Amino acid sequence: MKLVISHPPDTFEAQIVSREKRFIIHARDHDGRTFLAHTNNSGSMVGLVREGRKALFSTSSNPNRKLPCTLEAIRVDDMWVGVNTSTPNRMLAAVMRCPSMREEFGLCGYHTFTPEKRSGASRFDGRLEGYGSPTCWLEAKNVTLVEEEVAYFPDAATERGRKHLLELATLAAAGYRAGIFCLVQRTDGRCFAPADFIDPLFAAALYAGIDAGVEVWPYVAHVDEHGIALGERLPLAPRPCCP
């Protein structure tokens, strides 16, 4: 494990009761009191949100927030699964601050990382710049779905994700660098693939992007009660054969 980022301050453990619509979690604390929490994960979180499961919630100090608590991770058997979709962005920023990790990603020629930068009609999660190196555009994805040891993204159809892939492919074809950092926030995946059985259009866009030069960096995250540690890089699963 190479890098560790902490959970937000005042993270605590409680039990899941249910999910309401997409962004609200009903939970119960150790004293049996129920409360509402926010989840920024708009995916299905299939197989994760179940009544009685342990979960980690962070607490915001912002007095203007309607729901001060945010769902960070869910306990599945003996494994924590990180579901906060801002965590990959935090980890990507930590990677870019670490020279040895930039070297591992093949990004030694870059020195300036700027989050949340716009190119054309899209706002990407990051932009890297360096002397003599083409601008590198980056997206970060949170992966929580694993089936038969394959980590899959997405867990729900994503028009926005497909749009970003197409624009990254266009940038790569124009001579820029473009990459997708996929943080697999669970430890039971052995390789990574797009979930063509959930969103075939996204899968087709990812493969087209790879062919255009978009780089894909899937990494395992080891999640516990204290934080998230960056683990090993996963290989890409073999591309399905065309019929």
* pLDDT per residue as tens digits for the range 192-230: 999 999 999 999 999 999 999 999 999 999 999 999 999
- What b-and-e string marks burial along 130-148, b requiring 16 or more CB atoms within 10 Å of the CB? beeebbbbbbbbbbbbbee
Domain positions in the chain: 4-80, 87-233
pLDDT tens digit sequence for 119-155: 877 889 999 999 889 999 999 999 999 999 999 999 9
Q: Which two tokens stand for residue 213?
A: 């030069």
pLDDT at residue 91 greater than cutoff 80: yes
Please report the pLDDT score of residue 9 as a whole number.
85
Please report the pLDDT score of residue 121 as a whole number.
76
pLDDT at residue 243 greater than cutoff 70: no
Angle among Cα 9, 11, 15 to the nearest 5 degrees reads 170
pLDDT at residue 177 greater than cutoff 90: yes
Please report the pLDDT score of residue 118 as a whole number.
87
CATH topology (fold) of 87-233:
Trna Endonuclease; Chain: A, domain 1 (3.40.1350)
CATH topology (fold) of 4-80:
OB fold (Dihydrolipoamide Acetyltransferase, E2P) (2.40.50)
Distances from the Cα of 50 to the Cα of 44, 77, 128, angstroms: 12, 12, 39
Please report the pLDDT score of residue 242 as a whole number.
57
pLDDT tens digit sequence for 154-168: 999 999 999 999 999
Helices (H), 113-219: 159-173, 200-212
CA distance 37 to 201: 32
Please report the pLDDT score of residue 90 as a whole number.
96
| Sign of the torsion formed by the C-alpha atoms of 26, 21, 51 and 197 | negative
pLDDT tens digit sequence for 33-90: 999 999 999 999 999 999 999 999 999 888 889 999 999 999 999 999 999 999 999 9
Contact yes or no for 105/119 (Cβ under 8 A): no
pTM for the predicted model, two decimal places: 0.94
Contact yes or no for 183/88 (Cβ under 8 A): yes
